[in-house]
DNA sequence: GACACTGGGGACAGCGCTGTCATTAAGCCC
DNA sequence: GGGCTTAATGACAGCGCTGTCCCCAGTGTC
């Protein structure tokens, strides 16, 4: 009862341990009858193979690491949590397990991290979250060691892209383009924009989408565009800069929800009613987005599915499939809630 | 370069592998000189021991599992994320690694989970999050298999408590008591309360704190107390029930922040200004609590530290320390923000 | 009938460590 | 100085699997 090994199963099924191993791993050489006998024995003994033993003797570890960095703060963590949820589910389905590792961005001991991942844990793959997924040093270290990487919302880096692993993302340009058009359709023309973190690829793409959607033949005045860092606090300053202008915009589109919520907060404090005097929109559809007042108009990305796809890619890859897309782009969708309305 | 083993280190240091093992594990028998030589060799080779091999041959796996359940939703996930953050940090410090497992509450295949944890992963300990940490079936399965458990915010179950593992928590009673007194100090007497999930131990304790603080010789009218489930949605209905009363309370204390935010949302929709016409308070200090309008008065618990303590307990325990408190109670603190004010 | 060939299955050697026990050199007591 | 303990180290046998090689029977094939 305490611990069934492959030997026990072999004895009960009256075959060699190698045959048990074959059956359990779905290898071809095994007659249907033998297979059934082994399965039955395994079930009756409540047998589960030891991960350590499999990893030690075989070439797979059944482990995937999700690496997140300290830089990620406040609400953005929800993004990570949701990704993780998806990854865990995909792992369960594939008999894998998810390790979560954490690294301080400051002390960049990427060598130690890599060594841990490769030598100590021998993970079958790594899921990298921004901004880690865009760090050339880390990426090349991992590539050197032959680690399968999946990058979440990575920078498109042309040539190097391929060797640095698969990626999952949404079409950030389109998302921002559509949101801007949504505001324009409501009649807004004076639409402020809060930029994302300059090192994050999605930030630039979202800004481009905004610019292209808004561009009507004339350039966009500088005063409409304020820098941000994807964090709530950075959104606060940007919102103030936008709203304290003599002729303030009728709508503000922030590059993500955290900053959009900051806009809501500043507007509240300044006594500017949303959406009647100011429309506010974001991107991400954080859980909190539907909870704030008024609920935020935003763009939803299928974060959980992206996490699941990331894990699945690693699992399939390790199992043999070689499929090497450059990256998979997921569908997004506009979520119109109450923070946007035609200007009055 | 690709993969240094203990043999390589032994060769370089000119000792046997057993000695390397001893040095690396901090076992006593090893001269200072040998120790230095081995350390140097290990460093120069960039050696990291293989977890699988260690787990297979030794009695420790250096793995801790954090088990969360599907029931956890929306903002509550942040609580889990923060716990996890703390646990990861403690793991890193102790050379451990954190696995995150997930289980659907509906399909209670706890046997499979336990088997995976014990046989497949051979984890050194498990961190259980509510409501999992209060499930007798799971707890007894794990206890049977001799798994070290740490329960987060567990139900105090007297007799059985001890054998079911260590626990970390805050003093929920005191937290609620103090918050209620804070509202009373501001002059509130008509203080509504939204209960937490009936299966969650903390819910009952918080309610008791509220009741005892408010009780002034007369019983508390039923209309002031509404059921909730710790979720935003449940908070919505409770808030409506409270605010649609002919004589509505001047303050509402929700058993957690998610529900307090729901109160904010309902008040906003009903045109009730907070805090001038209604004070709102919660417990947890979710990141979102400081972001909503107005920022929420709440009780902060040191969630990250609690996660770290949980992991540390398992690590120490596995390393030999036997220390068996029943549970560790962490300090909480009142965070007074803008959602509470004297009634007008 | 000899000769591949193939589907089904076993023997066996590790994977890289730790536990146990044995061994050696030193120190110590009377 | 012989027998004792003690500190420091090594030899060796696994831990529970998978990879590789090998064997054996049946089945065509000319």
Average pLDDT over residues A36-45: 93
Instruction: Enumerate residues 6+ apart whose C-beta is below 8 A from B139.
Output: B128, B133, B149, B160, B164, B165
Considering any atom of strand C, list protein residues whose CB lies within 7 Å: A 15-19, 28-31, 33-34, 53, 56-57; B 3, 5-7, 17-18, 21, 24-25, 47, 49-50, 53-54, 56-60
The per-residue DSSP string of B176-221 comes to HHHHHHHHHHTT---EEEE---TT-HHHHHHHHHHHHHH-SSSPPP
Name the pLDDT band for A183 (thresholds 50, 70, 90). very high
- Select the residue of B2, B102, B291 nearest A89 (Cβ to Cβ): B102
CA distance A5 to B255: 48
Q: Of A155-169, A194-208, B106-120, B122-136, which gets the smallest average pLDDT?
A: A155-169
Which nucleotides of chain C are near protein (any atom < 7 Å from a CB)?
A: 7-20
Q: Beta strands A191-194 and A166-170: pairing type?
A: unpaired
CA distance A315 to A236: 42
- Would you say the C-beta of B16 is within 7 Å of strand D? yes
CA distance A204 to B54: 46
Closest CA to A308 of A143, A25, A86, A125: A86
Q: Which of B51, B83, B308 to mutate to test the interface with A (most CBs of A within 10 A)?
A: B51
Q: Which residues of chain B are under the pLDDT cut of 70?
A: 1-2, 70-76, 106-108, 156-163, 217, 321-326
- Would you say the C-beta of A13 is within 7 Å of strand D? no
Distance from CA of A219 to the nearest CA of B (A): 34
Closest CA to A48 of B60, B53, B118: B118
**Would you state the pLDDT for residue A301?**
92
Task: Determine the CATH number of domain A63-171+303-332.
Answer: 3.40.50.2300
Sign of the torsion formed by the C-alpha atoms of B50, B52, B58 and B59: positive
Which residue matches tokens 């923060």? B82
CA distance A198 to A332: 22
pLDDT tens string B229-239? 988 899 999 99
Residues of B in contact with A84 (CB under 8 A): 100
Task: Determine the CATH number of domain B1-44.
Answer: 1.10.260.40
Average pLDDT over residues A129-153: 87
Distance A29 CA to C4 C1' (A): 20
CA distance A66 to A99: 6
- Select the residue of B55, B81, B101 nearest A81 (Cβ to Cβ): B81
- Would you say the C-beta of A57 is within 7 Å of strand D? yes
Closest CA to A200 of A132, A286, A300, A107: A132
**Would you state the pLDDT for residue A340?**
97
CA distance B87 to B305: 8
Q: Is B246 helix (H, G, I), strand (E, B) or coil?
A: coil
Distance from CA of B217 to the nearest CA of A (A): 38
Task: Determine the CATH number of domain B172-301.
Answer: 3.40.50.2300
Instruction: Give the domain ranges of chain B.
Output: 1-44, 63-170+303-331, 172-301
Task: Determine the CATH number of domain A6-49.
Answer: 1.10.260.40
Q: Residues A224, A190: contact at Cβ < 8 Å?
A: yes
**Would you state the pLDDT for residue A133?**
84
**Would you state the pLDDT for residue B157?**
59
Closest CA to A236 of A266, A257, A258, A256: A266
Nucleotide nearest B58, from its CA to each C1' = C18
Residues of A in contact with B77 (CB under 8 A): 78, 81-82, 287
Distance from CA of B264 to the nearest CA of A (A): 8
According to DSSP, residue B5 is labeled -
**Would you state the pLDDT for residue B216?**
73
CB atoms A4 and B80 under 8 Å? no
CB atoms B291 and A265 under 8 Å? yes
CA end-to-end span of chain A:
73
Residues of A in contact with B50 (CB under 8 A): 56, 119-120, 122
Instruction: Enumerate residues 6+ apart whose C-beta is below 8 A from A156.
Output: A201, A327
Residue A187, pLDDT > 80, answer yes
CB atoms A115 and B48 under 8 Å? yes
CA distance B131 to A262: 33
CB atoms B120 and A49 under 8 Å? yes
CB atoms A119 and B50 under 8 Å? yes
CB atoms B293 and A293 under 8 Å? yes
Q: What are phi and psi of B128, to 5 degrees?
A: -110, 130
Which residue matches tokens 């979560």? A100
**Would you state the pLDDT for residue B12?**
92
Distance B99 CA to D30 C1' (A): 62
Q: Which of A45, A47, A51 to mutate to test the interface with B (most CBs of B within 10 A)?
A: A51
- Would you say the C-beta of A11 is within 7 Å of strand D? no
Please classify residue A43 by burial: count the beta carbons closer than 10 Å to its beta carbon, then call 0-12 exposed, 13-18 middle and 19+ buried: exposed
Residues of A in contact with B261 (CB under 8 A): 291
Superfamily of domain A172-300 in CATH is: Response regulator (3.40.50.2300)
- Would you say the C-beta of A144 is within 7 Å of strand D? no
Return the CATH number of B63-170+303-331, one of 3.40.50.720, 3.30.980.20, 3.30.420.10, 3.40.50.2300.
3.40.50.2300
Question: What value does the mean pLDDT of chain A take?
Answer: 89
The b/e string for A77-88 (b: 16+ C-beta within 10 A; e otherwise) is bbbbbbbbbbbb
**Would you state the pLDDT for residue B195?**
97
Residues of B in contact with A74 (CB under 8 A): 287, 291
Residue A29, pLDDT > 70, answer yes
Distance from CA of A306 to the nearest CA of B (A): 17
Q: What six digits make up the tokens of A207?
A: 């800004």
Average pLDDT over residues A321-332: 77
pLDDT tens string A108-139? 678 889 999 999 999 999 999 887 888 888 88
Q: Is A121 helix (H, G, I), strand (E, B) or coil?
A: coil
Closest CA to A195 of A161, A165, A238, A164: A238
Same fold, A6-49 and A63-171+303-332: no
**Would you state the pLDDT for residue B311?**
96
Quick one: closest CA in A to B89, which residue? A102
CB atoms B97 and A92 under 8 Å? no
* Helices B17-24, B6-13: crossing angle, 10 deg rounding: 100
Residue A72, pLDDT > 60, answer no
Q: What are phi and psi of A280, to 5 degrees?
A: -135, 135
């Amino acid at each position: 009862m305490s611990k069934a090994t492959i030997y026990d199963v072999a004895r009960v099924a009256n075959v060699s341990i190698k045959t048990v191993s074959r059956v359990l791993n779905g290898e071809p050489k095994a007659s249907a009858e033998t297979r059934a006998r082994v399965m039955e024995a395994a079930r009756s003994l409540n047998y589960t193979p030891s991960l350590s033993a499999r990893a030690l003797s075989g070439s797979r570890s059944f482990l995937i690491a999700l690496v997140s960095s300290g830089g990620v703060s406040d609400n953005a963590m929800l993004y990570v949590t949701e990704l993780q949820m998806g990854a865990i589910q995909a792992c369960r389905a594939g008999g894998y397990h998810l390790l979560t590792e954490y690294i301080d961005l400051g002390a960049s001991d990427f060598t130690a991290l890599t060594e841990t991942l490769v030598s100590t844990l021998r993970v079958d793959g790594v899921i990298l979250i921004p901004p880690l997924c865009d760090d050339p040093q880390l990426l090349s270290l991992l590539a050197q060691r032959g680690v399968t990487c999946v990058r979440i919302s990575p920078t498109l880096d042309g040539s190097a892209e391929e060797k640095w692993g698969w990626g999952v993302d949404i079409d950030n340009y389109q998302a921002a383009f559509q949101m801007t058009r949504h505001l324009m359709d409501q009649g807004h023309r004076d639409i402020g924009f809060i930029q994302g973190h300059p090192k994050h690829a999605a930030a630039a793409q979202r800004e481009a989408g905004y610019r292209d959607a808004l561009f009507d033949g004339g350039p966009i005045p500088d005063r409409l565009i304020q820098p941000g860092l994807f964090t709530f606090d950075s959104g606060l300053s940007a919102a103030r800069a936008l709203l304290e202008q003599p002729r303030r915009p009728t709508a503000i589109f922030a590059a993500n929800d955290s900053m959009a919520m900051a806009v809501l907060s500043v507007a509240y404090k300044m006594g500017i009613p949303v959406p009647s005097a100011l429309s506010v929109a974001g991107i991400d559809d954080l859980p909190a987005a539907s909870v704030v007042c008024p609920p935020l108009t935003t763009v939803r990305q299928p974060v959980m599915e992206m996490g699941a796809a990331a894990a699945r890619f690693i699992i399939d890859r390790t199992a043999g499939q070689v499929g090497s897309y450059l990256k998979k782009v997921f569908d997004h969708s506009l979520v119109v809630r109450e923070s946007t309305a035609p200007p009055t």
